[in-house]
């Protein structure tokens, strides 16, 4: 179980005005924010999030229908119902949209609850669930992932760009150590080495799969890789 510690520090600034007469004066107080001010700020932030997500959703739809190269910024903004200039408030270039979509597509680890992989089942099965969670939906967006690979985007960076609930490597090590205690992984196995190998193989398989015309799904390929690794490390 991983603990997240968040520390926030704030410093209140208070000023006073020098007296303009011999009489003492009371420092002017800064008016406290009203409820309406907070509400207006929250509404603006919510509106920004909605616009950004609308741009991403319409971009993904158009990329799927027309392809990344053939889709223009003007088409995206028209579909999203926003001004063309608004697009650049959120994404400096069209490639930044691709990057953001990559984070959503490949970064699904943040949506995975710890109980889903730390519960019942063999260690091999838990690693499989972890991989399947990350790969979920990649078949539908194969061309999108291919575009990211062709543009030199490092797929591991997309997964770890925003801190997820569970770090990929750390989770693999946790599962393998658990497998050792349960007698499913050999006592002499170097857990850190196997975790790094599985981590690397995951992305290598995604790149290989999206760059070639494999008939099997990415989920099937990942299960084959996991099976090979566990054949070598079982007790």
**If pLDDT is split at 50, 70 and 90, which confidence band does 7 have?**
very low
pLDDT in tens, 144-191: 778 877 776 666 666 655 444 457 888 899 999 999 999 999 999 999
CATH of the domain at 202: 1.10.357
Q: Could you tell me if residue 32 is inside a domain?
A: no
**If pLDDT is split at 50, 70 and 90, which confidence band does 11 have?**
very low
Rounded to whole angstroms, the Cα distance separating 63 from 55 reads 12
Output 213 or 113, whichever has higher pLDDT: 213
Q: Which long-range contacts (CB under 8 A, 24 or more apart) does 54-60 make?
A: 54/80, 54/81, 54/82, 55/80, 55/82, 55/87, 55/90, 55/91, 55/97, 56/97, 56/100, 56/101, 56/104, 59/97, 59/101, 60/101, 60/141, 60/144
Q: Residue 203's Cα: distance from chain center in Å?
A: 15
Among 30, 61, 92, where does a domain finish? 92
Beta strands in 89-135 (DSSP E): none
Alpha carbons within 13 A on the beta-carbon side of 162: 13
Dihedral sign for Cα 165, 169, 170, 176, please: positive
Q: Total structural domains in the chain?
A: 2
Q: Are residues 137 and 198 in the same domain?
A: yes
Q: Are 25 and 17 in contact (CB under 8 A)?
A: yes
Question: Is the model's pLDDT at 71 over the cut of 90?
Answer: yes
- Specify the pLDDT at position 195: 94
Report how far apart, in Å, the C-alpha atoms of 89 and of each of 52, 55, 73, 96, 109 are.
9, 11, 13, 12, 28
**If pLDDT is split at 50, 70 and 90, which confidence band does 4 have?**
very low
Q: Can you give the pTM of this predicted structure?
A: 0.64
**If pLDDT is split at 50, 70 and 90, which confidence band does 120 have?**
low
Q: Range of 73's domain?
A: 44-92
Question: Is the model's pLDDT at 72 over the cut of 60?
Answer: yes
Q: What percent of the chain has pLDDT over 90?
A: 31
Q: Could you tell me if residue 99 is inside a domain?
A: no
Rounded to whole angstroms, the Cα distance separating 21 from 71 reads 69
Give the N- to C-terminal CA distance of the chain in Å, as an integer.
26
Among 61-65, 155-159, 202-206, the range scoring the smallest mean pLDDT is: 155-159
Rounded to whole angstroms, the Cα distance separating 55 from 86 reads 10
Q: Are residues 122 and 167 in the same domain?
A: yes
Q: Are 102 and 93 in contact (CB under 8 A)?
A: no
Q: Are residues 128 and 63 in the same domain?
A: no
Question: Is the model's pLDDT at 19 over the cut of 70?
Answer: no
Q: Are residues 150 and 175 in the same domain?
A: yes
């Amino acid at each position: 179980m991983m603990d997240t510690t968040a520390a926030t520090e704030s410093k209140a600034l208070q000023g006073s005005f020098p007296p303009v007469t011999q009489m003492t004066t009371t420092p002017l107080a800064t008016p406290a924010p009203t409820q309406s001010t907070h509400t207006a700020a929250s509404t603006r932030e919510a509106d920004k999030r909605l616009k950004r997500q609308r741009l991403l959703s319409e971009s993904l739809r158009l990329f799927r229908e027309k392809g990344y190269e053939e889709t223009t910024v003007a088409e995206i903004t028209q579909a999203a119902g926003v001004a063309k200039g608004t697009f650049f408030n959120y994404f400096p270039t069209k490639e930044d949209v691709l990057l953001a979509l990559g984070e959503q597509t490949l970064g699904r680890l943040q949506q995975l609850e710890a109980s889903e992989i730390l519960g019942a089942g063999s260690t091999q099965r838990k690693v499989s669930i972890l991989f399947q969670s990350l790969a979920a939906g990649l078949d539908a967006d194969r061309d999108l992932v291919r575009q990211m690979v062709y543009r030199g985007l490092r797929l591991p960076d997309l997964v770890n760009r925003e801190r997820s609930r569970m770090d990929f490597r750390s989770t693999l090590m946790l599962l393998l150590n658990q497998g050792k205690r349960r007698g499913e992984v050999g006592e002499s196995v170097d857990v850190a080495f196997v975790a790094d190998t599985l981590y690397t193989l995951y992305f290598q398989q995604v790149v290989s799969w999206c760059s070639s015309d494999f008939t099997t799904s990415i989920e099937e390929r990942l299960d084959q890789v996991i099976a090979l690794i566990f054949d070598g490390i079982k007790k």
